[in-house]
């Protein structure tokens, strides 16, 4: 296909091997690649924006493949995409990519994920956007994931990227020859058994470190086709999970089951 203008961001920071591999793959295919990503680890920052302090951005081309223009930004992943779109880029991108994340973004992880939020910022601004994650925190062979991400993005652009569609792609931690097929998947409803580890610093002051583990996915009524597997289950089987998302958060349940406004016990405000 014709060369694309691609914006790439992430939440693992400018030194992460995942984003460097993704940018190198895109550049090797002849695309015009600009990276604008955090200057340090910004995982699990969700869709946060920096409002009370200034943003700083410095060139970081030397960390990436030849031909890639790169900026390291002091803000969140969403800050990075906003700054790129409205200040740093000379022309708007034709595709926004985020990743490759060092770890999965499955099910309700997407609500916390800086990786998905960076891509979502692209979707909100009207650009085709894809978030890609390697579904294991310790896996470091990002080449297959980069190739799959670019293959999927290019094919979707060729077929016609639907307006308002965000794609969330997860790749199983396997060598290329052992990766299973790609399937459309529904996001699982995933909860964590949160644990706060209580510790004491060298000055005798108490602090807490958030830890925890995912519990089994929960069944829930979803809008996706009944024959779609959950993303958690498909990744566990070794396949590539692709989930269509959108910025709208409106509840998909039966609105007729909600109580009327008059039935809600809200006290009247004096003078109204």
- List strands edge to edge, sheet with 129-134: 57-59, 69-73, 32-38, 5-9, 95-102, 129-134, 166-171, 240-245, 182-184
- As for how many domains the chain has, the answer is 1
Question: What pLDDT sits at residue 254?
Answer: 84
User: Is 27 domain-assigned?
Assistant: yes
Residue 13: band (very low, low, confident or very high) from pLDDT cuts 50, 70, 90: very high
231, part of any domain = yes
Asked if residues 160 and 197 have their Cβ atoms less than 8 Å apart, the reply is: no
Grade residue 214 by pLDDT with cuts at 50, 70 and 90: low
Predicted local distance difference test score (pLDDT) of residue 198 = 85
Tell me the pLDDT of the chain averaged across its residues. Answer: 91
Which one is predicted more confidently, 224 or 248?
Answer: 248
Residue 221's pLDDT is: 53
The boundaries of the domain holding residue 89 are 5-188+227-248
> Does residue 68 lie within any of the structural domains?
yes
What average pLDDT does range 230-237 have in this prediction? 93
In a domain, 262, yes or no: no
Cβ atoms of residues 172 and 235 within 8 Å: yes
Residue 201 lies in a domain: no
Domain harbouring 57, CATH code:
3.40.1210.10
Residue range 99-113: mean pLDDT, rounded = 93
Query: What percent of the chain is predicted at pLDDT more than 70?
Result: 92
Whether 214 is covered by a domain: the verdict is no
The more confident residue out of 144 and 264 is: 144
Q: Which two tokens stand for residue 171?
A: 């790749």
Q: What is the pLDDT of residue 223?
A: 64
Instruction: Give the C-alpha separation, 188 to 108, whole Å.
Output: 7
Q: Is the pLDDT of residue 193 over 70?
A: no
Asked if residue 216 is part of any domain, the answer here is no
Helices (H), the chain: 17-28, 77-83, 114-124, 143-159, 231-236
Has residue 208 been placed in a domain? no
């Amino acid at each position: 296909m014709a060369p694309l203008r691609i914006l790439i961001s992430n939440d693992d920071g400018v030194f992460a091997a995942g984003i460097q591999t993704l940018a190198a793959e895109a550049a090797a295919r002849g695309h015009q690649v600009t990276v604008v990503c955090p200057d340090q680890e910004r995982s699990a920052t969700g869709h946060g924006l920096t409002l009370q302090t200034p943003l700083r951005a410095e060139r970081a081309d030397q960390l990436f493949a030849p031909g890639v223009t790169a900026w390291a930004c002091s803000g969140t992943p969403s800050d990075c995409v906003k700054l790129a779109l409205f200040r740093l880029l000379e022309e708007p991108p034709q595709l926004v990519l985020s990743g490759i994340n060092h770890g999965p973004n499955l099910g309700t992880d997407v609500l916390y994920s800086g990786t998905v939020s960076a891509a979502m910022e692209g979707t909100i601004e009207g650009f085709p956007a894809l978030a890609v994650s390697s579904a294991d925190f310790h896996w470091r062979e990002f080449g297959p994931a980069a190739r799959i991400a670019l293959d999927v993005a290019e094919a979707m652009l060729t077929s016609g990227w639907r307006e308002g569609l965000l794609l969330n792609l997860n790749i199983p931690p396997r060598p290329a020859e052992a990766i299973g097929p790609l399937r459309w998947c529904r996001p699982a409803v995933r909860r964590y058994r949160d644990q706060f580890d209580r510790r004491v610093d060298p000055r005798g002051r108490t602090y807490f470190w958030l830890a925890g583990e995912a519990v089994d996915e929960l069944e829930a009524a979803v809008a996706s086709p009944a024959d779609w597997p959950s993303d958690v289950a498909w990744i566990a089987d070794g396949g590539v999970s692709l989930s269509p998302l959108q910025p709208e958060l409106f509840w998909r349940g039966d609105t007729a089951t909600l109580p009327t406004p008059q039935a809600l016990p809200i006290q009247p405000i004096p003078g109204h």
